[in-house]
Structure 1
Amino acid sequence: MKTVSVIIPIQEGDTECETLLKELPKILPKEWEIIVSKSTDKVNRAKTLNDGVQKAEGEFLWFLHGDSRLGTNEIQKLKDAVLSHPNRLFYFKLEFYPKSLRMKINSTGANLRSWFFSSPFGDQGLCIRKETFLKLGGFDETALYGEDLLFVWTSQKNGVRLYRIDACLKTSDRKYRKNGWFKITLLHQYLYWKLAIRHFF
């Protein structure tokens, strides 16, 4: 059985991860490990993730956000994918909670973007072999944002193919509720295309 290190970046003071950290040990295989990598406002997410990788002992790295929600079905789907296609970069389909029409629009857009533009985001549970991750240089710590997308694109540029797992990873809609659905949706689109243009052109 392939061993997996689950790496969860946590911002100092954020309690949203408590549910995930409580439920994960109940559903993960015993040989998998959970690594919580904490950060402050002075440390960006890329460095927080890379710091977590340095502690990882598993053959594969699975990056989860603290507000992710999943069950045994998602775990089994990932296990099957890793065993059958170990050299891929894996990601899940996205679903928001609580459910609403607006967030359904966003999740549909995210899943179409991931499929047609080969651009899954970090909240879709990226998973990759640790050896491959290190060869690719890890997450870009100089990036002010979008380190997940940059890594996805760099992986593909270096011959690593994507593999979409046929299961949904749920993520919270909290930032949309806090800052406004239209504002955050528009901001994400702007940042995505700004990053894509800078990266590819």
Structure 2
Amino acid sequence: MISIIIPAHNERQNLSKLLPSLQTKTRKAGVEIIVALSCDNADNSENLTTGLSNLKFIKCEGKGRAVQMNTGASLASGTVLVFLHADVKPPESFLEDIECTLDKNYEAGFFSYRFDKRSFWLDINASFTAKDGIFTGGGDQCLFIKRDAFNALGGFDENQVLMEDFEFFKRMKKNKIAYKIIKNDLIVSARKYESNSYLRVNLSNLLLVLLFKVGLSSEKLKTIHNRLLKMPYQHNA
């Protein structure tokens, strides 16, 4: 079974688009969808009418995306865990791509992506997601991983209040978890770029990744992030 885990905080609008799009992709037996809502989610996302029989909403006790994803994983039935952001739309062959990759003896993987608004500069950004590099492992790339490997790594670090995805990927590499980047684009929201300039987002992202790599604490990273960027949505960490 494949378990798709979606951490969400006041994401009703995006979930109302994503969940129906998953319907045709998850009709096959052996796929479940778990939406892990933050403890202070306040938009009644759990009351969305979707028609999906393989969907369940859970309310998490703690705060932060790492907590949400770990909670979803702990309640999942699947032998494969897929962590998908609420504002990311997967390609049609999403599940087949995952199964094919894992059948080739990879233990985990990510997807390349492009933005939902096209521009020369955004296309340049997206092009980097199709290959290994400094930004590999970010949550927008949609991590999928065998449950055994996820458990062996101890799940996400719940003390990592920002960049929990990069921290997890760092441990994946350290433990030599075999992974592949699938070159079949997810569609990712450009909303952060719409609320900030292209240059500001890119310089901020580069700075945060570099500071993370030299060991700055997640609390300080979060403070810097909030000072540098205006967010179009309320972050839950």
CA distance in 2, matches of 1:105, 1:98: 13
| 1:118 shift after superposition | 7.7
The equivalent of 1:72 in structure 2 is 92
Which consecutive unaligned segments of at least 5 residues does structure 1 have?
A: none
List runs of 5+ in structure 2 lacking aligned partners: 42-61, 217-237
1:169-189 deviations in whole A, cap 9, x for unaligned? Answer: 111101110233222221111
Equivalences for residues 68-147 of structure 1 within 5 A: 68-85=88-105, 87-112=106-131, 115-117=132-134, 119-147=136-164
TM-score, normalized by length of structure 1? 0.88
In the alignment, is the contact (CA less than 8 A) between 1:96 and 1:171 conserved in 2? yes
TM-score by length of 2: 0.76
- SS of alignment partner, residue 184 of structure 2: strand
Cα distance in 1, alignment partners of residues 213 and 118 from structure 2: 29
Give the alignment's Cα RMSD to 1 decimal.
1.9
Give me the whole-angstrom Cα distance separating, in 2, the residues matched to 1:109 and 1:169: 13
1:198 Cα offset (Å): 1.3
Residue 13 of structure 2 corresponds to 15
- Letter of the 1:190 counterpart: L
Deviation at 1:193, TM superposition (A): 0.8
Higher helix share: 1
User: Could you tell me whether the CA contact under 8 Å between 1:27 and 1:71 is conserved in 2?
Assistant: no
Distance 2:188 2:11 in 1: 19
Which of 25, 36, 50 is 1:27 aligned to?
25
Offset at residue 12 of structure 1 (A): 2.6
SS in 1 for 2:88: coil
Runs of 4+ aligned residues of structure 1 deviating over 3 Å after TM superposition are 109-112
Instruction: Give the count of matched residue pairs.
Output: 194
Higher Cα Rg, which structure: 2
